[in-house]
Structure 1
Amino acid sequence: MSTRTDAPTRREQILKEAARLFAERGFHGVGVDEIGAAVGISGPGLYRHFPGKDAMLAELLVGISERLLDGGRRRVQEAAGDPEALLGSLIDGHIDFALDDRPLITLHDRELDRLREADRKRVRQLQRQYVELWVTVVRELYPAPPETEARATVHAVFGLLNSTPHIGLLGRTAMEALLRRLAHGAIGSLAD
Structure 2
Amino acid sequence: MPESPPPPSKRRRIRLGAVSRPAGQAEVPKRAGVTRREELLDIAAELLAERSFASVTVDDLGAAAGISGPALYHHFDSKEALLGEMLVDISQHLFDGGRGLRDTSPPERLLDDLIEMHVDFAVDHRALISVHFRDLLQASATDQRRVRVLQRQYVEIWVDALLVRKPTLTAAIARPAVHGVLGLINSTPFSPRARRGDMVALLRTMAAASFAAVGVTDAPIA
Q: Aligning the two structures, in what range does the TM-score lie when normalised by the shorter sequence?
A: over 0.9
Q: 1:158, 1:112 → 2: CA distance? A: 17
Correspondence 1:151-190 to 2 at 5 A: 151-190=175-214
Q: 1:56, 1:3 → 2: CA distance? A: 16
Shift of 1:119: 1.1
Q: 2:59, 2:14 → 1: CA distance? A: 30
CA deviation map 1:72-106 (0-9, x unaligned): 01111221xx2232112111110111111111111
Go from structure 1 to structure 2 and tell me whether the alpha carbon gap of 1:23 and 1:3 turns closer, same or farther (over 3 Å shift): closer
For 1:70, the aligned partner's letter is D
Correspondence 1:1-192 to 2 at 5 A: 1-2=12-13, 6-79=32-105, 82-190=106-214, 192=216
Asked whether the 8 Å contact 2:13–2:124 carries over to 1, the reply is: no
Q: Secondary structure at the match of 2:54?
A: helix
Q: 2:101, 2:169 → 1: CA distance? A: 24
For 2:51, the aligned partner's letter is R
Asked whether the 8 Å contact 2:81–2:140 carries over to 1, the reply is: no
Q: 2:14, 2:52 → 1: CA distance? A: 28
CA RMSD after TM alignment: 1.7
Q: 1:104, 1:9 → 2: CA distance? A: 19
Unpaired segments ≥5 residues, structure 1: none
Larger radius of gyration: 2
Instruction: State the identity as a percent.
Output: 48
Q: 2:210, 2:61 → 1: CA distance? A: 39
Unpaired segments ≥5 residues, structure 2: 1-11, 16-31, 217-222
Q: Normalised by the size of structure 1, how large is the TM-score?
A: 0.93
Q: 1:77, 1:40 → 2: CA distance? A: 42
Which structure is higher in helix share? 1
Q: Report the number of matched residues.
A: 190
Could you list the runs of 4 or more consecutive aligned residues of structure 1 that deviate by over 6 angstroms after TM superposition? none
Q: 1:3, 1:53 → 2: CA distance? A: 20
Q: Secondary structure at the match of 2:214?
A: helix
CA deviation map 1:108-141 (0-9, x unaligned): 1111111211111111111000000100010011
For 2:48, the aligned partner's letter is F
